[in-house]
């Protein structure tokens, strides 16, 4: 069964360049919707880096975030999930049944989705929120995120 939230290298007959182009196109699709978090626009580093792709794209797929849960290929193929999560403006941090939850840890905002097994890291700035990275997560990371989420909101709200 094919997961509709992935881009498969096999669909490009092993053509890695075509695969990367499709991943980048999916990443660029996110920005057409002007994603918002907590009433601030989410922004990225548009600096052109390798192959003319934006720096933030490479930050997501290269994995320079000390999260070695998945290899780079998995990070590429799961890029469409970024659009699903950030395209949903119903972030409900303090609702137990919310699919997308968030908390602040180490001065960064961490959104995670249990349904999609994916995490997004944002950094709040004065007038915007910067997309730092995003990556698939495993059960161990999900459980850690849930614990941090509960602790954060308990401290924040007293409940």
pLDDT digits (tens, 9 = 90+) for 74-87: 888 888 888 888 87
What pLDDT is stored for residue 95 in this prediction?
58
Q: What does the domain layout of the chain look like in residue ranges?
A: 9-157
Q: Which residue has the tokens 């057409």?
A: 32
What pLDDT is stored for residue 98 in this prediction?
72
Q: Which residues of 36-46 are buried (b: 16+ CB within 10 A; e: fewer)?
A: ebeeeebbbee
What pLDDT is stored for residue 68 in this prediction?
53
The alpha-helical segments, DSSP class H, found in 32-158 are 55-62, 72-77, 79-86, 139-157
The segments of the chain whose pLDDT lies below 50 read 1-2
């Amino acid at each position: 069964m094919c997961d509709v939230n992935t881009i498969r290298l096999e669909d490009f007959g092993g053509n890695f360049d075509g695969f990367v182009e499709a991943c980048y196109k999916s990443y660029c699709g996110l920005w057409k919707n002007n994603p918002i978090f907590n009433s601030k626009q989410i922004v990225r580093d548009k600096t052109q880096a390798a192959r003319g792709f934006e720096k933030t794209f490479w930050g997501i797929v290269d994995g320079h975030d000390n999260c070695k849960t998945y290899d780079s290929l998995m990070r590429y193929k799961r890029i469409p999930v970024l659009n699903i999560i950030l395209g949903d403006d119903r972030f409900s941090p303090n609702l137990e049944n919310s699919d997308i939850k968030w908390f602040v840890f180490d001065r960064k905002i961490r959104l995670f989705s249990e349904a999609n097994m994916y995490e997004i890291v944002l950094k709040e700035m004065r007038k915007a929120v910067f997309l730092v990275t995003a990556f698939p997560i495993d059960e161990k990371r999900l459980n850690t995120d849930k614990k941090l989420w509960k602790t954060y909101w308990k401290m924040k709200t007293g409940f």
